[in-house]
Amino acid sequence: MNNTGPKTNAQQASEEPIIRISEMHKWYGEFHVLKNISLDVMPKERIVVCGPSGSGKSTMIRCINRLEEHQRGKIIVDGIELTNNLKNIEKIREEVGMVFQHFNLFPHLTILENLSLGPVWVRKVPKKEAEETAMYYLEKVHIAEQAHKYPGQLSGGQQQRVAVARSLCMKPRVMLFDEPTSALDPEMVKEVLDVMISLAQEGMTMIVVTHEMGFAKSVAHRVLFMDAGQIVEQNAPDEFFSNPQNERTQLFLSQIL
């Protein structure tokens, strides 16, 4: 991975984090779901987030593209602070792509229509240009020949690759993935991970919630472990897996590895 290795000090000094979360809290009603989350993500950095079910992983990444609101602390994405000021939202959704566990494709639209819808309606891109871009990204995820089919005619792995391509059509600067392979049959996991690995090789900034620890080891710069609404531990993958410090991390890893 040429341009994706550890950064030199000079590079680091000249770069600002693309995502900056500081002392962020969120409640669902009375329930304190995220507690004092602080996280800086550098351009081209790849972060894997793991942790038990219900620990707040989805909520945290949904706050980053404002699918959820936080109540305390700050989230700044590419210089834009996420506040109640609604006019920021479209811009944030363009900059931050998201891929969900369930692919969330529109079933009554073809694959090509699913991909061109956002650019045409949100970015006001001419339809022909949006379709050309869509075909470009469908080629990238090796699925161009399915462009005129409907989602229901594709396998789960193919649909998820379409979902990745759909996000890329908006030319995001950051991609968030929320357990992108956990709803897939085992034989389809690799085709989706391979697409994510090639995105990583191209230098995409990525935050990936996943329990695919092989992916974490080979692709992540940093692995975060969440428990009960907090980031309990974070480290480079080698250290994280070989020498987990927190006993909750140790317990979690002993259960999944």
Could you list the beta-strand ranges (E) of 100-173.
none
Q: Return d(Cα 83, Cα 188) in angstroms, integer.
A: 38
Which amino acid, residue 21?
I
With CB under 6 A, what is the number of residues at the site for ligand ADP?
Answer: 11
Least distance between ligand ADP and beta carbon 163 (Å): 18
Q: For residues 70 and 80, give the distance between their C-alpha atoms in angstroms, rounded to a whole number.
A: 15
Instruction: Choose, by CB under 6 A, the member of 1, 11, 40, 54 that binds ligand ADP.
Output: 54
8-state DSSP, 144:
G
- Rule CB under 6 A: is residue 28 a binding residue for ligand ADP? yes
Among the listed residues 53, 60, 80, 33, the one whose alpha carbon sits nearest the alpha carbon of residue 207: 60
**Which residue is associated with the tokens 């692995």?**
223
Identity of the residue, 11 or 246, whose beta carbon is nearer to ligand ADP in the bound complex? 246
Give the residue with the Cβ less far from ligand ADP, 32 or 74: 32
Binding site for Mg ion (CB under 5 A): 58
Indicate whether 55 belongs to the interface with ligand ADP (CB under 6 A).
yes
59 binds, among Mg ion, ligand ADP, none (CB under 5 to 8 A by kind): ligand ADP
**Judged by CB under 6 A, which of 57, 161, 221, 248 binds ligand ADP?**
57
Q: Helix, strand, coil shares of the chain as percentages rounded to 5?
A: 45, 25, 35
Q: Which stretch binds ligand ADP (CB under 6 A): 7-15, 48-56, 87-95, 192-200?
A: 48-56
Selected binder of ligand ADP within 18, 21, 24, 33 (CB under 6 A): 33
Half-sphere exposure in the Cβ direction for 200 (13 Å, CA) = 23
Cβ nearer to Mg ion, comparing 58 with 167: 58
Which of 47, 56, 111, 227 contacts ligand ADP by CB under 6 A? Answer: 56
Residues 6+ apart with CB under 8 A from 79: 16
Structure tokens at 21: 């979360």
Binding of residue 67 to ligand ADP (CB under 6 A)? no
User: Does 158 participate in binding ligand ADP (rule CB under 6 A)?
Assistant: no
* Cα–Cα nearest to 3, from 256, 201, 234: 201
Confirm or reject binding of residue 164 to ligand ADP (CB under 6 A). Answer: no
- In the complex, the residues that contact ligand ADP under the rule CB under 6 A are 28, 31, 33, 51, 53-59
